[in-house]
Chains A and B, each alone.
Chain A
Amino acid sequence: MNGDSDGTRVPGLAEAFEPERLDGHTIEELGEYLDAGRSPHDASIEDSPGCRIALDALRRLRERSWEMLAAQAGRDAGREQGWIAAVLANISREARAGRDVPLGSGLPDTRLEVTEGAIRGLVRAAGDSAGGGLVGRVRLVGDVTVPGAPVRVEVAASAAWPEPLHPLAQRMRARILDQLARHSELNVTAVDVTIEDIHAGDEAEPGASR
């Protein structure tokens, strides 16, 4: 295959990697250059037509490779997905439990505790319920294991476009404070909500349609 439609002879791809066509470069170097995102810019490569042809071929191979994998995944999509249930059955929910957070029981010799993981879940649910965004990372900063110790709650969130960001952050903050006051005994000194990302909006409010 050594011609294109206007009759100009272009090297076949198999020839494109002959050393003499690469102006002193090797396919190893070009592969590494492409893998590094063609950065920093290398003029001796970018100004060489032979190298450009080879880089283009390498790039197309890369794209074609991911298409191959996606096509395989597509063919498999109809298969029985029992392995997913097996994964979920095999994960330990306790792995992400974190510290034990005391709840007062009012009874002598009785300790009630809830896990930090459960508190994070509470914060996520509260933030999500504000509508217009989704909670991401939650951090409880302070010694949550000591009753009454000051705790700051740090929340990262994603806003549903085109939700106004500041009101969303305020709403989330209010919901989180409210739920923590109702369902924990943490001494929450601050709830910091940072909107770090935006995602495509949705007609339905989160949690509205189940």
Chain B
Amino acid sequence: MDEAQSLARRASDRLLAERAADGDVDAFTALVRRHGGIVRAYAVKVLGSPDAADDVVQDTFVRAWERLDELRDPSAVRAWLMRIASNRAIELLRARKPEAELPEHDAPATARPGPADAVEAGMVADDLSQALRRLPARQRECWLLAQFGGLSYAEIAAQLGIPATTVRGQLARARRTLIGEMEAWR
């Protein structure tokens, strides 16, 4: 068993993050393996497809390595990684869709058949995933950044270029819609 695997079996996030911050590449590798899946799944949701998700994950971990000494609470390394991934994914999203093309925040969502649907087609249906895709883009982004990225209203507002009060309203709408759809699954 390699050293990274041995560490990964026993070490907490905090221990791995502390060792990685001190330069332990095996500990960093263990962190990459432990959290890479979740970070990538998050990137897929934000980007709307798996296409550039690997780039986002790769960039996230390379940035994380460079900034490890900025991590104040090593036990919260996953939340910190999700925050870095949020920034990177939104950067990519903005690069693809210039401001002029972003939908008005209350525009009704249209069904978006796309690569994500093809990928999911052969897999177990995930009702929340589908409900998420049906949300208007602005609501979806606010919800993803709050729910998984752990960003504050102010941070989401800065990322998306909208007022914090708008973020608050969008998040509430998204939650209400998603919860309403949850009812249908019971």
Residue ranges of A at the interface with B (Cβ–Cβ < 8 Å) = 1, 12-14, 16-17, 26-28, 31, 35, 57-58, 60-62, 64-65, 68-77, 81, 83-84, 86-88, 90-93, 95-98, 117, 120-121, 124, 134-138, 156, 158, 160, 197, 199-200, 202, 206, 209-210
Contacts of A64 in B (CB 8 A): 128, 182
Q: Is the CB of A136 within 8 A of B18?
A: yes
Q: Is the CB of A87 within 8 A of B179?
A: no
Q: Is the CB of A77 within 8 A of B19?
A: no
Please give me the residue from chain A that is nearest to B25 by CB atom: A93
The verdict on A62 contacting B179 (CB below 8 Å), with A73-B38, A84-B33, A96-B22 known, is no
Q: Is the CB of B128 within 8 A of A199?
A: no
Q: Is the CB of A137 within 8 A of B45?
A: no
Q: Is the CB of B58 within 8 A of A86?
A: yes
Please give me the residue from chain A that is nearest to B128 by CB atom: A68
The 15 listed contacts between A and B (C-beta, < 8 Å) are A35-B146, A65-B128, A72-B41, A75-B123, A84-B29, A87-B58, A91-B66, A120-B22, A124-B22, A134-B10, A135-B19, A136-B19, A137-B18, A158-B11, A197-B12
Interface residues on B, range: 35 or more
Q: Is the CB of B22 within 8 A of A61?
A: no
Interface locus among B86-94, B96-104, B107-115, B169-177:
B169-177
Cα–Cα distance between A14 and B45 once the two chains are bound (Å): 24
| Residue B37, interface by CB 8 Å | yes
Q: Is the CB of A83 within 8 A of B22?
A: no
The verdict on A137 contacting B168 (CB below 8 Å), with A14-B183, A17-B179, A83-B57 known, is no
Contact of A200 among B10, B58, B68 (CB under 8 A): B10
Measured between C-beta atoms, what is the minimum distance from B68 to chain A in Å? 7
Please give me the residue from chain B that is nearest to A58 by CB atom: B175
Dominant secondary structure of chain A at its interface with chain B:
helix
Please give me the residue from chain A that is nearest to B42 by CB atom: A69
| Residue interface bits B1-14, CB-to-A below 8 A is 1, else 0 | 10000110111101
Contacts of B44 in A (CB 8 A): 72
Contact of A88 among B29, B37, B42 (CB under 8 A): B29
Please give me the residue from chain A that is nearest to B150 by CB atom: A35
